[in-house]
Chains A and B, each alone.
Chain A
């Protein structure tokens, strides 16, 4: 029987491989899903008492997990816990898988209707039991529960299998790191071979001793597994920090055969291979994106993938087993929940509407949305969506993992109940039992992720008096400092630690910082030290705004700044540690002193500060640090401090000792195991000696120091030939002294043995040295006549000179008096390589390569160890820079702006200078902050650069270094930017006629011109502050809004966008003032002019009505009438009358009348007092003329009306249009 089943699976696997369309976005293959589901069931059955899943039911579970990949459902199989999003790609935006798993409405969309694309593994008889289900579309958690309660266990398992599939996919880095991978991924290709038929013996052994991962809500499963996958593994297309993810960063490198592997520490399972670094050959300019890769296309090239599989596959099984356990728990709870009774018949109206929907859908053929209602009616799903589910809310009977430790706890921690998966708020909250045994599991209390402020309102249950009453007796479980987890850096980190105290040793403090882009609810988070004498739990309602700090002080006097929390307990100066846990005891951050703290200085009381870009620690440039303020700038020499999470024991002040190890010793030297291909940025600065103390200068000059132990010119480098020619040789001289040396009369000799005769390389009489000198700390290059290297010689060998021997010679430099200045006996030197004198540094000889490249060649102890072999010769001449010398000045004013129209980052910076004060011949290098993974994005001499990006909404952090022409690098300067996903322009148009202000904006788009889905919100504020509750949601994708405004008002108009994951753009702000009132009226009825003009004084048509939409006032009216001009002697009279009965002109009440005499040719009427017209009222304007000279008729006496029609004012403003007979403008000035 078992064999038959395996055969069936095998055949199906073959079928799948053959017929599956190419290039689809799947994670594990269906048969790998089958393997995971099988093992998850076994693990569940073995460890969880109670409900067991027999083999018969297991088949349904397995089949369900295989069939969730029906297209296009896989679009919703992604969840990125870092950015809290589903798939965002040119392949479309999908729902978050954790939402997809619980949302019937989403799944019921006709778009996602399941197909029979993939054959079932069930027998015909088995399949018959779920026949109706397999072609439906709602395979949600809640529906699985409902099926189970209704006794339809086969359907329940089949549906649960679909959810299990989502958990399994979440373990694939491509799915947790937003990598659409249309052409497949190496990890998935590797995993494909593990099926139910083939099995994986190693997986079995890795699972031995393992048990299901238990959480109390479905969200926690998704968040937990995706965080593990995202934070610890790469997908091929998200290698490196340019992908937008700072983790995982490799901890060290290890060479294995031909390749260098970036390694990650893993205390639980052993260190693992994170990716492979490939070093391009010198001739290879075909640098693809695969300088770092997850796999090699050769035998044994899957070592990284093996390590990935070894960790991710058990994770998928353990989480899956735990999820099954949760399923049965929630089934039990749901049995008591009225909303889970058998489907309620819909009312007549509901059915009628549904039927009409059906009809309408079938007729139109275009309203896919109605299909959900159809399915809902047919299957009974329509009445229970995820919103109605109330499952884990009353999980107060669970006694597992209870802590006997009773402590004060905020009610919120006890009440913050996370509903199963739906993320929806339950309207029912059950009172926790007020006993120690009623302590809910911590993991059930809140989401594993910090809850963004924007969503807390919907997640916080309504306060219930009974809960509050019970709260004093509710216990809280403190997290244990001991954990094998890695920190997830989930939004809040340790930003600064004053472990050394301040004015007094007890003035210790700890600063947290929210490094995310949104406010975070950190209620219930805990800070624990290694001895667990410091145990801080953050109080209820603690929210930390984006970018702000949270200050924990040992005593009120620890800093002059008021603390957010006072705590007790002390931080030791060594062998100590601090860990930050969220309310689920997930490790968020840590810093360990093993035995020394990574940074900080107990002597100067400079605190330990954090670089939020790479999480490295460095010693503050300021004594007593920067509590509740931005950290001081890291000194470049410290920028390679070990990551706190690595637990490196690389240094830190040893506490009481000062100076013994140079104060802080947190500067890492490149270790011997570090491959030369790894280019560090700032650590190559020649003089990396840190200067402890309260200095803070971004322009540090490296210490020049004494460059030699001798005071004469030395022979510094010898090359005896190249592979192409034995006579391509040079000898380099170096002057370590501070004054230049005249070389006139010098000569250069060689001899084959120490006792042999000297022969000339450069004879004195050749005069090759005459008139030449070697600069202080400079070089002088002597070369054979055949030498054709890249550097010009300063002097050539004599015509008849001999050549240096490959296998050893003695080279002698003599001065004008024939005295030996320097003599070098060299051993055999390989062609193309050179024999180079070491540098003199801190009274010892050190390598002149690597860090010592620019320290000169001043080591002279007359020992063979003064020299070292150099793989690539480096001849230097009098044109070369001096050594040692100052590095170029670090770049100043490094600024990045974002041009949203072209999706460009625009970099600008000030020109730097090299040690000689010149700005030319410098090269600027810009790298992403994680320079170990990527090459420079810019390398050039300009002081500006434009980089097109493909992702917005993420933090970009760049380092710029300036390099002099010989390769000496400055310290780095950092700049960061989060490109806004809202285009920074608001177009405004004011309709004075309607008293409306219309604002329009542009949406941002991806590089492929696809739209970024966003809801837009506007805020009209009278000040520059925008109250959070004043934001007005104007809907999805809308890009305009009209506000009715009043005269004389002034607005700060804010606009922001919110993406589907709830991330807000920056606020774009614009100020708008109501312009001076200028209401214009015009009349264009030329045809009516003749018979009425100036003659019909009683006609209604002789009045102009105006009905302001908004209160309006004016004190000036300008009226032009055709034929009325200067010198015409006309007299105009304007009357404003409030309309009479029902807005008619009958019996108007005259408000004001103003006369402008004839010589007021402009027709301007000034009113002494402003005339106020009220919104909602109708007025009549009457303009009359008394005298008039024009061709239409004789001058008249007595006022005649000149307005000829009663067209209600419609806002026309064609003032100078020749077609108008008259116009009138009302203004307020």
Chain B
């Protein structure tokens, strides 16, 4: 009986089938790898703790940007006051003389303490001004502020004024601070 066993090289048609299979296997493998990678990417990007943390970091920076923008907007909008500390005080006094508390209060610096409930408002000083009126002390305030003397400065962009009693003792002092966004001097505190 003749031996029909041939070399694998004799099976040309089979070789082409193997190549096709090979391509299919390669393609399938590539697809699997691709899907695996896509899955990994999805997990890494949205589901992993790292993704959560990145999201958190982005959220905080967004908050920072937002708060900074709000702060700058408020400060830039705060244009009431003079280009010198004295002129701001003069404007303040003039407004008080006209009993225009709304205008007078605009010469106050906004509250810049982010932890304060009055942040970016003048609420505290506005209320103080109203109380001054209720206590009939507006004229006293006008008189006292008018008599305030320049006291100098210890830090950049802040200056002080003093109000002294007849005996020379200190009665009150007024602090003004430059709003660098408008270059306007604001009354910071009494």
Binding site for B on A (CB under 8 A): 22-24, 72, 75, 89-94, 105-106, 109, 111-112, 178-183, 186, 189-190, 192, 236-237, 243, 258-259, 278, 280-281, 283-290, 293, 295-302, 305, 352-353, 356-357, 360, 367-370, 372, 948, 950-951, 1007-1008, 1010, 1013, 1035-1036
Contacts and interface: CB of A to CB of B under 8 A. Distances in A.
B167 to A, nearest CB: 12
Given A23-B75, A190-B154, 12 more contacts: A72-B64, A106-B57, A189-B157, A192-B156, A285-B137, A288-B124, A288-B188, A296-B160, A297-B155, A356-B37, A369-B45, A1035-B52
B84 interface: no
A284 B151 CA distance: 19
A286 B151 CA distance: 19
A296 B159 CA distance: 9
Contacts of A360: 41, 45
A302 B163 CA distance: 19
Given A287-B128, A302-B154, A179 B115 contact: yes
B135 A285 contact: yes
Contacts of A91: 63-64, 67-68, 114
A189 B111 contact: no
Among all A-B residue pairs, the 10 with the closest Cβ atoms? A297-B160, A301-B154, A258-B170, A298-B151, A92-B63, A92-B60, A369-B54, A183-B112, A286-B128, A288-B189
B152 A368 contact: no
Chain B interface residue number, banded: 35 or more
Contacts of B115: 89, 178-180, 237, 243, 950-951
A289 B111 CA distance: 9
A158 to B, nearest CB: 23
B169 interface: yes
A286 B67 contact: no
Nearest to B45: A367
Given A302-B154, A353-B40, A1036-B56, A237 B113 contact: yes
Interface string B46-81: 000011111111111111110110011001000000
Contact of A182 (B41, B45, B67, B170): B67
A299 B57 contact: no
Contacts of B71: 23, 182-183
A91 B177 CA distance: 23
14 contacts: A75-B60, A91-B63, A182-B112, A190-B155, A283-B135, A285-B128, A289-B111, A293-B189, A298-B160, A299-B154, A301-B160, A1013-B56, A1035-B52, A1036-B52
A286 B190 contact: yes
A256 to B, nearest CB: 12
Interface in B160-179: 160, 162-163, 169-173, 175-177
Contacts of A93: 60, 63
Contact of B181 (A22, A280, A285, A290): A22
Contact of A295 (B63, B129, B154, B171): B154
B158 interface: yes
A297 B41 contact: no
A183 B112 CA distance: 6
B23 to A, nearest CB: 21
Given A105-B50, A288-B124, A302-B154, A296 B173 contact: yes
Nearest to A257: B170
B17 to A, nearest CB: 30
A1000 to B, nearest CB: 21
Nearest to B136: A283
Contacts of A369: 44-45, 50-51, 54-55
A974 B155 CA distance: 40
B22 interface: no
A91 B117 CA distance: 14
A258 B61 contact: no
B190 A284 contact: yes
Contacts of A299: 151-154
A385 to B, nearest CB: 10
Nearest to B124: A288
Contacts of A289: 111, 113, 116, 124, 189
Contacts of A353: 37, 40-41
B148 to A, nearest CB: 12
Given A90-B114, A91-B63, A301-B160, A287 B124 contact: yes
Nearest to B190: A286
A64 B176 CA distance: 36
